[in-house]
Amino acid sequence: MDVDKIRQIKEMYAQAVQKKNSGDYRDALNLAYEIKNTFGPHYYVSDVVSCLLIDLGLPLGEESITKEGIELLENDFEKIIQNEINASNAYYNLANGYYSVFSFKWKKKPYFNCFKETELDQVKINLRKALEYNSQKPEILVNLGNCYDHLGRRIDALECYEKALELKSDHAMALGNKGIALCYYSRLMGRRWRTILIDAHYFISKALEIGVIPESKDSFIIWLKWIENQFSDKNVLDNPPEFPGYKIEAKSDLDRYIQEYCLENRLYLNVCNFCQKCNAAIGDSINIERMTVPVKDYSLENDHYLRLSTYLNQIKEDFIAARFLLILPRYGELNLDFVYDNVIFTDTLDYSQHDINIQLVRLSFKNFYDILDKIAFFINDYRNLNIKPRNIDFRKIWYSPWNGNPKKSVINKEIVKTQSYGLNALFDIHWDFEEGGPYNNLRMTRNALTHRFVKVKMFCNDENNEEMTEDNLVERTLELARIVRNAILYLMYFVNEMETKKHKFIDKEKTENHLLEIKVKEH
C-alpha cells in the first residue's frame, strides 16, 4: 500500500476515534466502514478497521459489530504481527474484542463466567502477549486488571492498576477501576472496611475529574454514590483522616530486615498489607471473620469454626516458615556456610552450585507450593465435597469426576453452586498453573524439585524449569510466594462471602433445630 493511501487512512481513523471519544458512535462506525470499503482488502486496513469495530460494538449494543471486528483482525493477524511495532496493539485489540463479547454475556448473566472457560481466558492470553511486546502501555495493564476483576481476583486487579498508574499517574480509567476494585476489596477488611472506601471515593472522583470514556462514566458515578451512602458523615470523604504510616519495632537486625522485606514485597498475610498506612500492615493477622454453626448437638469436638481455624493456622504457619526460608539467605550479615563444612560434593563440571542458601530457597519454593494443596483440603471440608483426604490436591479439587485433564473433567456441582467470586479467583489461579498458563513454569519447577532435580548453576546460557541461576530461582520463589499470598486472601474472601450470604437467611424466630450461633473474629 502506497504512502498516500496510508496517510488518508490515518486521517480517517483519527476522525473516527475523535467521534467515538465524543460519543458519536454511529458516525464513527460509518467512517470505519468507509475505510474498509475504500481501501480494503489489505492487512493494514484490517488492523485499523478491526480496532474501530471492536471499540464500537459494546457502546452501540451490537455484538455482531464486535464479532465482525474480531474476525477481520484474526483473518490477517499473522501478517499484522510480523511488524513487532504493530504486534502489541494487535494483541491488545484482539483482547478487547473478546472482552466485549464476554461483556455482552455477563450483562445478561453475571455469574456465567465462574468455574469454566470463557472469553476472559482469551483476554488474559492476548493481553499478556501484548505486554511481552510493550510493557510500557498503561491501557494493557488496566484491561488486564479489569479481566482479573471479573474473575474475582481483586488483588491481582489492584496490582495491575497500580502498575498502570506508575506509568501514567493521571490515567483516568486506572484510577476509576482501582477505586471500584477497592470497593470489592473492602469486603475483606472487617471493621476497617470504610477506611478503604475513603480511598476508593478519592480515586473514582479523581477519574471523573480527569475524564473517563463516555461509556464508563455512568458506572463510576453509581459507585461514587454507593460509597457516599455508606457514610452518615459525608465530610470524612472530603477530609479523610491522616494515617501515621507503619513504624517497625524490631528485636534484632534480622527481625528488622525480615519486616522490611515483607513490607517491600507485600508478603504479610493481612488485609492491610495492600495499603500499608499503619502498623496493621505488619504481621499475619488474616483470620476467619465470621462463621455460622448449628446450635443443636453443638460440641467443641464438632465445631466447624474451630476445625477450619486449625487448618488456617497450619496454612499460616507453613507460609511464614516458607517466607523465612526465602528471606534468611538474603540477609547478608548471616553466614551459614558452616552447615556444609564437612560435606564432600563431586565436581560434575557443569557449574552446579552447592550452597545451603540455595537449598533453603529450594525448600521455600516447595513449601509455598504445598500450601495450595492445604487450601484445597480447607475447601473440601468447608463445602462438604466428600473427597477422600489422600485424593485432595489443588489441581483436582474442582472436578467430579477427575479424568486426569482439567479440560476433560466436569466441575463439581457443589463448587458451581457457591456462585462465589472468591472461590472462582482460586479456580482461575489453578487454571493459570495448567499447560499454557503463565504459572505452568512454576508447576514444572515444583514437579522437578519434588520428583527429580533442579540444578542451580553459576552460569546458565539456556535457563529452563530444571536448570537456572540462583537469581532466577529466587525470582520464581518470590513470584510463587505472592501467588500463594493472594490465594490465602481469596480463600478468606470466599469464606466471608458464603458466611455473609448464610447470615442473611438466618430466621431467629424459628425453632431450636434451626437456630444458629454466630461467631465473629476481629483482627
How does DSSP assign 243-278, residue by residue? --------SSHHHHHHHHHHHHTT---STTTTT--S
If asked whether residues 272 and 389 sit together in one domain, one would say: no
In a domain, 510, yes or no: yes
Separation in Å, CA 213 to CA 17, 65, 162, 459, 518: 12, 19, 19, 49, 45
Q: Check whether residue 403 and residue 505 sit in a common domain.
A: yes
**267 & 298 share domain:** no
Q: Which residue has the cell 517497625?
A: 248
Question: What's the whole-number mean pLDDT along residues 201-218?
Answer: 93
Does 418 share its domain with 339? yes
pTM: 0.91
Cell of 236: 470524612
pLDDT above 90 as % of the chain: 71
User: Does residue 170 fall inside a structural domain?
Assistant: no
Count the domains in the chain.
Answer: 3
Beta partners for residue 516, in sequence order = 294
Whether residue 363 sits in one domain with residue 380: yes
Residues 372 and 272 in one domain: no
Give Cα separations from 407 to 333, 394, 411 (angstroms): 49, 15, 10
For residues 145 and 161, the answer to whether their CB atoms sit within 8 Å is: yes
Alpha helices in 109-153, H assignment, sequence order:
119-133, 138-150
**Same domain as 440, residue 322:** yes
Residues 374, 269 share a domain: no
412 located within any domain:
yes
- Nearest CA-CA partner of 92 in 107, 73, 116: 73
**Which residues share a beta bridge with 411?**
399
- Asked if residue 262 and residue 369 are part of one domain, the reply reads no
428: its cell numbers: 482461575
Last residue of a domain, one of 256, 283, 310: 283
Phi then psi for 94, rounded to 5 degrees?
-65, -40
Looking at 10-14, 64-68, 179-183, 347-351, which range is the least confident one?
A: 347-351
Using a 10 angstrom Cβ sphere, with 0-12 exposed, 13-18 middle and 19 or more buried, the burial of residue 472 is middle
Helix, strand and coil content of the chain, in percent to the nearest 5, comes to: 65, 5, 30
Q: What mean pLDDT is predicted for residues 11-26?
A: 93
pLDDT of amino acid 195: 85
**Does residue 293 sit in the same domain as residue 278?**
no
Residue 11 located in a structural domain: yes
Most distant pair of Cα atoms in the chain: their distance? 83
3-state secondary structure (DSSP) of residue 70: helix
Report the distance separating Cα 358 and Cα 506, nearest Å. 53
Block residue for cell numbers 448473566: 109
Q: Poorest-confidence range of 183-192, 368-377, 391-400, 474-483?
A: 183-192
Segment 247-266, tens digit of pLDDT: 999 999 999 999 999 999 99
Per DSSP, what are the bridge partners of residue 469? 457
* Boundary residue ending a domain (223, 255, 283): 283
Q: Does 79 score more than 90 pLDDT?
A: yes
Last residue of a domain, one of 135, 157, 183: 135
Rounded to whole angstroms, how far apart are CA atoms 446 and 363?
10
Grid coordinates belonging to 302: 464438632
- Judge whether 136 and 167 are in contact, CB under 8 Å: yes
- Residue 74: give its domain's CATH number: 1.25.40
Whole-number Å distance between alpha carbons of 450 and 505: 46
Taking CA atoms, 341 is separated from 52, 176, 220, 361, 506, in Å, by 67, 57, 63, 19, 64
Within-domain flag for 218:
no
Query: Where does the pLDDT of residue 369 fall: very low under 50, low under 70, confident under 90, or very high at 90 and above?
Result: very high
Report if residue 215 sits inside a domain.
Answer: no
pLDDT at 506: 61
Same domain, yes or no, for 63 and 121? yes
Count CA within 13 A, CB hemisphere, residue 64: 0
Same domain? For 319 and 433 the reply is: yes
Q: pLDDT for 471-514, tens place per residue?
A: 999 999 999 999 999 999 999 999 988 988 877 666 543 433 33
515: confidence class by pLDDT, cuts 50, 70, 90:
very low
The domain containing residue 274 runs over which residues? 244-283
Specify if 461 maps to a domain: yes
Query: What residue has cell string 488483588?
Result: 155
Give the separation between CA 150 and CA 157, rounded to whole angstroms. Answer: 9
Digit-coded pLDDT (tens) for 128-170: 999 999 999 999 999 999 999 999 999 999 999 999 999 999 9
Dist. CA 230–CA 252, nearest whole Å: 43
% residues pLDDT > 70 (the chain): 95
Could you tell me if residue 47 is inside a domain?
yes
Could you tell me which residues come within 8 angstroms of residue 355 by beta carbon, excluding any fewer than 6 positions away?
Answer: 337, 340, 456, 470
Give pLDDT, residue 523.
Answer: 35
